[in-house]
C-alpha cells in the first residue's frame, strides 16, 4: 500500500561511510565587515576595472542598504549595475527576468562579478543567475527531472559574494537555491557546489532594520537548521559512494556539524527575544547572525529533514513565509515524531534549551523540550499558533499536503533520522494545526 511506503534511506544503504567532507565559501563576519567587500572581491581575483551586478530588492534599495554597497564598490573603482526586482520565494519566471536583464546589459558572457544583497530570495536569485549565465540556457535546464531537464552545472562562473540582511536562511553558504515552479505549485532546488557563493560577508549592521515579525520568522528557520542538523542521522549510517563526487550534499551529522549545531542553538535561543523586541540591540543582532551562520553550517551540511520536507508543500500552496512555516511544523515533526529516533539526543537538546531534565525520563524530557520551544515562539508574539492560524489549513487539506511531501521531498526525507510513511506525515500535519490554543479576538 503506497501510504505505508517508507521514504527514508533503505536499510541496505545503512553501512560503511567512513569519510566526511565540508565545503564552505570564504566567510567574513562582524560589525562593518561590509566595508571589506571590495577587498574580498580583489582577493577573489576581481580586477579594479571590473563591471559587476548587485542583485537585491526594492525594499533594501528604499532603506539605503543598496546605496551603501554600491557607494563602497564605486569608491573602490568598480563599475556596478543594480537589479532590484528580486521577488520573495523567487519563481522560475522571476529568475528569468534577472537573466534577461544580464543578457540585455552584458550579453551571454554576463558580468565580471555578482553580489547578492538581501534575504534568501535575493541571494538565491543571484546564485542561480550567476550559474545559469556561466553554463547557458535557463533555470529549468538545471532542475531535476521530471520538472526540469536535470542537466548538471559544469561551471561556477565569475566570483559571487553574498551579503545577508536577515539572520535565517543560510543561503549565503549553502550549495542550494530554491525556486518555485508556479504552474505545478511546487518548489524545486538547484543543488550543486557550482551554485555556492565564493564568499559570504556577514555584517550585523545590515540586519538592525529588519522588523520584528521578519526577525522572528527568519530566526525560527535558523533554529530549525540547527535542530534538524543536530538530530539528523550520522554520516556513517550511509553507504560510502565509489566515486566521492556521488557523496550527497546533505550527508549526515559529523563532529564538525555537531559543534556548530550546539553553538547555534545557544546563540539563537538566548538572543532571539532581544532581537525581536529590541531590534537596535547590535550585540543581539550580531549573535543572531552568527547563530544563523553556525546553524546553516550544521544543518545545511548535515541535512535538513522532515520539518523542511513538510514546509515546502505548505509554502508552495499557501505562499507562507518559510521560517513561519518551519515554526509551525517543528513541534509536531522534529520535536515530537523524531524524538523517538534517539531519546538521549533529544534529552541533551532539552538541556541546551534550558530545561532542567533532572529526574525526568527521556520521554518527559522530550515533552519538556517541545513545551520550551512553544513557549519561546509565544514569547515572540508574532508567530501563528499552528498551520490553521498560519494559512487557514484544516484537516481537509492534509491528505494533499502529505502526498506532496512524500512525492516531491525525497531529498530531505532521506535525511530523516526516523523512517516516515505518508500516513505518518498526514498525522504530523494534523498535530501541527494547533501548537497552542489561539487567542480569541
Least separation, in Å, of the C-beta of 432 and Fe ion?
16
Q: Compare residues 94 and 310 and give the one whose CB is closer to Fe ion.
A: 310
H-assigned helices in 232-305: 255-277, 282-302
Sign (positive/negative) of CA torsion 303, 307, 313, 314?
Answer: negative
Name the residue number minimizing CB distance to Fe ion: 221
Q: DSSP assignment, residue 239?
A: P
User: In this chain, which stretch among 1-9, 102-110, 216-224, 312-320 interacts with Fe ion, using CB under 5 A?
Assistant: 216-224
Cα of first residue to Cα of last residue in the chain, in angstroms, is: 44
Q: Compare residues 221 and 422 and give the one whose CB is closer to Fe ion.
A: 221
Cell of 111: 558580468
Least separation, in Å, of the C-beta of 219 and Fe ion?
11
> How is 40-83 classified by DSSP, letter by letter?
HHHHTT--TT-EEEEE-BHHHHHTTHHHHHHHHHHHTT-EEEEE
User: In this chain, which stretch among 196-204, 219-227, 334-342, 423-431 interacts with Fe ion, using CB under 5 A?
Assistant: 219-227
Q: Does 221 bind Fe ion (CB under 5 A)?
A: yes
Cβ atoms 357, 408 nearer than 8 A: no
The secondary element (H helix, E strand) that includes residue 179 is: strand 176-181
Q: How far is CA 87 from the centre of its chain?
A: 16
Q: Compare residues 198 and 221 and give the one whose CB is closer to Fe ion.
A: 221
Least separation, in Å, of the C-beta of 178 and Fe ion?
9
Least separation, in Å, of the C-beta of 84 and Fe ion?
24
Least separation, in Å, of the C-beta of 196 and Fe ion?
16
Q: Compare residues 70 and 297 and give the one whose CB is closer to Fe ion.
A: 297
Least separation, in Å, of the C-beta of 239 and Fe ion?
27
Residue 148 CB coordination number (10 Å): 18
Which residue is associated with the grid cell 518551519? Answer: 326
φ/ψ of 234, rounded to 5, equals -80, 150
Cβ atoms 104, 133 nearer than 8 A: no
Interaction pattern, residues 318-347, with Fe ion; x per rule: CB under 5 A:
------------------------------
Least separation, in Å, of the C-beta of 356 and Fe ion?
30
Least separation, in Å, of the C-beta of 170 and Fe ion?
7
Query: Of 41, 203, 6, 31, whose CA–CA distance to 112 is shortest?
Result: 41
Q: Compare residues 34 and 269 and give the one whose CB is closer to Fe ion.
A: 269
User: In this chain, which stretch among 147-155, 202-210, 214-222, 277-285 interacts with Fe ion, using CB under 5 A?
Assistant: 214-222
Residues that contact Fe ion, how many (by CB under 5 A): 1
Least separation, in Å, of the C-beta of 270 and Fe ion?
20
Least separation, in Å, of the C-beta of 341 and Fe ion?
20
Cβ atoms 246, 298 nearer than 8 A: no
Q: Compare residues 221 and 336 and give the one whose CB is closer to Fe ion.
A: 221
Q: Compare residues 97 and 221 and give the one whose CB is closer to Fe ion.
A: 221
* Long-range contact set of residues 398-404: C-beta below 8 Å, sequence gap at least 24: 398/426, 398/429, 398/430, 399/426, 400/313, 400/317, 401/310, 401/313, 401/314, 401/317, 401/425, 401/429, 402/426, 402/429, 404/186, 404/313, 404/316, 404/317
Cβ atoms 309, 224 nearer than 8 A: no
Interaction pattern, residues 146-185, with Fe ion; x per rule: CB under 5 A:
----------------------------------------
Q: Compare residues 24 and 44 and give the one whose CB is closer to Fe ion.
A: 24
Least separation, in Å, of the C-beta of 26 and Fe ion?
22
Q: Does 124 bind Fe ion (CB under 5 A)?
A: no
Q: Compare residues 225 and 285 and give the one whose CB is closer to Fe ion.
A: 225
Cβ atoms 126, 139 nearer than 8 A: no
Q: Compare residues 172 and 221 and give the one whose CB is closer to Fe ion.
A: 221
Cβ atoms 5, 421 nearer than 8 A: yes
User: In this chain, which stretch among 13-21, 211-219, 220-228, 288-296 interacts with Fe ion, using CB under 5 A?
Assistant: 220-228
Query: Of 389, 386, 382, 373, whose CA–CA distance to 430 is shortest?
Result: 386
Q: Does 228 bind Fe ion (CB under 5 A)?
A: no
Q: Compare residues 121 and 156 and give the one whose CB is closer to Fe ion.
A: 121
Question: What residues make contact with Fe ion under the rule CB under 5 A?
Answer: 221
Amino acid at each position: 500500500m503506497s501510504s505505508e511506503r517508507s521514504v527514508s534511506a533503505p536499510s541496505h544503504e545503512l553501512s560503511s561511510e567512513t569519510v566526511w567532507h565540508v565545503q564552505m565559501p570564504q566567510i567574513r563576519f562582524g560589525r562593518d565587515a561590509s566595508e571589506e567587500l571590495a577587498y574580498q572581491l580583489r582577493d577573489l581575483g576581481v580586477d579594479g576595472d571590473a563591471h559587476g551586478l548587485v542583485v537585491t530588492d526594492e525594499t533594501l534599495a528604499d532603506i539605503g542598504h543598496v546605496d551603501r554597497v554600491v557607494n563602497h564598490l564605486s569608491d573602490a573603482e568598480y563599475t556596478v549595475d543594480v537589479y532590484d526586482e528580486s521577488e520573495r520565494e523567487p519563481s522560475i519566471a522571476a529568475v528569468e527576468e534577472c537573466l534577461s536583464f544580464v543578457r540585455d546589459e552584458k550579453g551571454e558572457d554576463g558580468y565580471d562579478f555578482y553580489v547578492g544583497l538581501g534575504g534568501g530570495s535575493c541571494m538565491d536569485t543571484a546564485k542561480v543567475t550567476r550559474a545559469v549565465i556561466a553554463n547557458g540556457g535557463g533555470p529549468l535546464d538545471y532542475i531535476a527531472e521530471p520538472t526540469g531537464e536535470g542537466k548538471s552545472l559544469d561551471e561556477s562562473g565569475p566570483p559571487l559574494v553574498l551579503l545577508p540582511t536577515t539572520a535565517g536562511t543560510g543561503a549565503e553558504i549553502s550549495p542550494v537555491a530554491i525556486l518555485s515552479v508556479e504552474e505545478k505549485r511546487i518548489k524545486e532546488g538547484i543543488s550543486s557546489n557550482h551554485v555556492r557563493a565564493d564568499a559570504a560577508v556577514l555584517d550585523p549592521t545590515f540586519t538592525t532594520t529588519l522588523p520584528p515579525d521578519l526577525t522572528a520568522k527568519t530566526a525560527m528557520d535558523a533554529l530549525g537548521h540547527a535542530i534538524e542538523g543536530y538530530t539528523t542521522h550520522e554520516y556513517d549510517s550511509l553507504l560510502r559512494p565509489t566515486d566521492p563526487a556521488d557523496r550527497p550534499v546533505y550527508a549526515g551529522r559529523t563532529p564538525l556539524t555537531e559543534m556548530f549545531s550546539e553553538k547555534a542553538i545557544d546563540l539563537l535561543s538566548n538572543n532571539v527575544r532581544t532581537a525581536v523586541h529590541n531590534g537596535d540591540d547590535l550585540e543581539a543582532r550580531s549573535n543572531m547572525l552568527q547563530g544563523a551562520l553556525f546553524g546553516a553550517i550544521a544543518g545545511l551540511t548535515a541535512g535538513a529533514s522532515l520539518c523542511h520536507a513538510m514546509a515546502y508543500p505548505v509554502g508552495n500552496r499557501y505562499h507562507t513565509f518559510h521560517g513561519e512555516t518551519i515554526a509551525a511544523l517543528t513541534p509536531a515533526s522534529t520535536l515530537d515524531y523524531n524524538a523517538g529516533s534517539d531519546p538521549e539526543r533529544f534529552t541533551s537538546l532539552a538541556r541546551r534549551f534550558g530545561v532542567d531534565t533532572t529526574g525526568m525520563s527521556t520521554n518527559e524530557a522530550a515533552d519538556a523540550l517541545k513545551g520550551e520551544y512553544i513557549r519561546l515562539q509565544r514569547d515572540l508574539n508574532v508567530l501563528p499558533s499552528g498551520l490553521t492560524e498560519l494559512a487557514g489549513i484544516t484537516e481537509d487539506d492534509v491528505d494533499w499536503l502529505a502526498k506532496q511531501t512524500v512525492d516531491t521531498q525525497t531529498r530531505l526525507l532521506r535525511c530523516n533520522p526516523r523512517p516516515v510513511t505518508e500516513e505518518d506525515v498526514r498525522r504530523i500535519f494534523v498535530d501541527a494545526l494547533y501548537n497552542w490554543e489561539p487567542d480569541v479576538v
